[in-house]
């Protein structure tokens, strides 16, 4: 399985602890679809993780975590996966961040998806995609106001801080 090094850390998925419980319901079909995408395209996006009292709680990535467990049960070897650590002072704030990760401010309809994807060869595009081409210099980064700072799990350094204007 291909894993893109796209997070602030790579960890064994067994270190991750579920956080959201039954907040989002997934069927076996949903998990099988996630498994299929991971096997076809690799593990391309980091999970957001909150570290508290020695545990690493998944804030965003529960479906992928469930899919990884199932892939392992199917006999696949799972390499370390990318994570980005989010900062929360307590469980209440971690829940707020989880809700922000799951907020939808718009809807994708069949028509809008068809229009967006019309004529695009996504499989070919993904095969030729280089992450180096997507990385922006600091001058190119747009102003964004994240819910929490992204911190290095190894040294504790805040890597991205945006000041309100």
Helix axes 62-73, 28-41, angle to 10 degrees: 80
pLDDT for residue 32: 92
Provide the number of structural domains found in the chain: 1
Give the model confidence (pLDDT) of 70-99 as tens digits. Answer: 999 999 999 999 898 888 888 888 888 878
Residue range(s) defining the domain that contains residue 136 = 9-160
Residue 165 falls inside a structural domain: no
Does 73 fall in a domain? Answer: yes
Q: Report residue 26's pLDDT band, with 50, 70 and 90 as the boundaries.
A: confident
Does some domain include residue 67?
yes
Count of beta carbons in the 10 Å neighbourhood of residue 19: 24
Residue 35 domain-assigned (yes or no): yes
The CATH number that applies at residue 129 is 3.90.1530.10
Residues 60 and 45: beta-carbon distance below 8 Å: no
pTM for the full predicted model: 0.62
Question: Could you tell me if residue 2 is inside a domain?
Answer: no
In a domain, 4, yes or no: no
What pLDDT does 57 receive?
Answer: 92
Residue 43 lies in a domain: yes
3-state secondary structure of 74: coil
Is 152 within a domain? yes
The two structure tokens encoding residue 94 = 């971690």
């Amino acid at each position: 399985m291909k894993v893109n090094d796209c997070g602030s850390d790579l960890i064994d998925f067994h270190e991750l602890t579920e956080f959201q419980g039954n907040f989002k319901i997934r069927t076996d079909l949903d998990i099988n679809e996630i498994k299929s995408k991971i096997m076809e395209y690799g593990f391309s996006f980091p999970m957001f993780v909150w570290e508290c009292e020695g545990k690493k709680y998944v804030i965003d990535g529960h479906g992928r975590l469930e899919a990884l467990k199932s892939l392992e049960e199917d006999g696949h070897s799972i390499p370390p996966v990318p994570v980005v650590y989010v900062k929360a002072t307590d469980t209440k704030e971690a829940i707020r961040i989880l809700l922000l990760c799951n907020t939808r401010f718009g809807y994708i309809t069949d028509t809008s998806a068809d229009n967006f994807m019309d004529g695009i060869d996504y499989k070919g595009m993904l095969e030729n995609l280089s992450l180096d081409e997507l990385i922006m210099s600091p001058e190119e980064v747009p102003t964004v106001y994240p819910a929490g700072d992204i911190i290095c799990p190894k040294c504790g350094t805040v890597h991205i801080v945006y000041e309100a204007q």
